[in-house]
Amino acid sequence: MSIPIVRTVAELRQTVVAWRREGLRVAVVPTMGALHEGHLGLVRTALDRADRVIVTLFVNPKQFNNPADLAAYPRTEHEDAAKLAPLGAHLLYAPFASEMYPDGFATTVSVAGVSEALCGAFRPGHFDGVATVVAKLFLQTGADLALFGEKDFQQLHVVRRMARDLDIPIEIVACPTVREEDGLAMSSRNARLSRSERQVAPKLAAILFEAAARIADGAPVDATLDEARSAIATAGYARIEYLELRAKEDLAPLQTLDRPGRLLVAAWLGETRLIDNVEVPSQPGIMTRTAA
């Protein structure tokens, strides 16, 4: 069993046009490969909700602000294709870089506001790169729906805003973060952790869930976040880029929990940057852990 792979927009469109003639509903799952259970969960949800599922695999150079990070990003197309085939995904679109960004490519999609804080403040240009490539993938595939993980919560907001602003007729479906048994959010970057870092890594999620529960129970936001920052540092994380409470709906900063919130963090463990986020319901007692 194998999954067909296409590398050009022309081949992709030919396939999608044939599906459309049959009246089939098409989903796209954008990825950069190194697929893990989180990605495979998106594919399973896509298969439940659409007749045909395209998985895209493109390590997008425009969203890496650090060349070393781009060079170190895992490239495992063969293994990725082998994981997708048994699920029943219909097409792997793994374009050449020259197909995505041909000579003379000069357009950037930039989403103001929601791209600017949190990861955007620490990774200049990152969300421009994401918005540009995702807009292209939406237009190239012409999919009816696209699936994204909540692990990249800010990315989800950027993509929604971009699709709405550009009138791209696609439904964006958000899927809960998938976690390892010890709570660590699944990420292609986890593979870079040393054995000892891997033991420390899940403490980030544990601290996040505890802080979220305390804030949901009425603890003061600033003091709780300060304590959580100390706990993250004590656990062994070298540098915290941000730990912030934001509104779930529009990512506006929250000083008090006057509407549903999201607690978001980015921190470095050795040479690896990890991000995570959890919900903070504004009514006490209704918090659910989104662990797998």
Instruction: Please report, for residues 195, 197, 228, the alpha-carbon distance to residue 203 in angstroms, rounded to integers and kept in the order given.
Output: 14, 10, 11
CB of 54 to ligand PAF, least distance (A): 12
Helix/strand/coil (H/E/C) assignment for every residue in 240-267: EEEEEEEECCCCCECCCCCCCEEEEEEE
CB closer to ligand PAF out of 131 and 215: 131
DSSP line for 157-220: HHHHHHHHHTT---EEEEEPPPB-TTSPBP-GGGGGS-HHHHHHTTHHHHHHHHHHHHHHTT--
36 is a catalytic site residue: no
Chain-centroid distance, C-alpha 32: 10
CB closer to ligand PAF out of 130 and 257: 130
CB of 166 to ligand PAF, least distance (A): 16
CB closer to ligand PAF out of 89 and 257: 89
CB of 83 to ligand PAF, least distance (A): 15
CB closer to ligand PAF out of 152 and 244: 152
The residue ranges that bind ligand PAF (CB under 6 A) are 30-32, 60, 63, 130, 133-134, 152, 155
Query: What is the 8-class DSSP label of residue 282?
Result: S
Instruction: Please report, for residues 76, 95, 106, 154, the alpha-carbon distance to residue 102 in angstroms, rounded to integers and kept in the order given.
Output: 23, 11, 9, 28
For residue 54, what is the enclosing H or E element? strand 52-57
B/e letters for 46-60, b = 16+ CB within 10 Å, e = fewer, are bbeebebbbbbbbbb
CA-CA distance, 265 to 274, in Å (whole number)? 8
CA-CA distance, 85 to 95, in Å (whole number)? 18
CB closer to ligand PAF out of 70 and 292: 70
C-beta nearest to ligand PAF: residue? 30
CB of 155 to ligand PAF, least distance (A): 6
CB of 30 to ligand PAF, least distance (A): 4
CB closer to ligand PAF out of 15 and 31: 31
Catalytic residue chosen out of the listed positions 36, 39, 78, 157: 39
Question: What's the sign of the alpha-carbon dihedral 292, 156, 170, 131?
Answer: negative
Active-site positions? 39
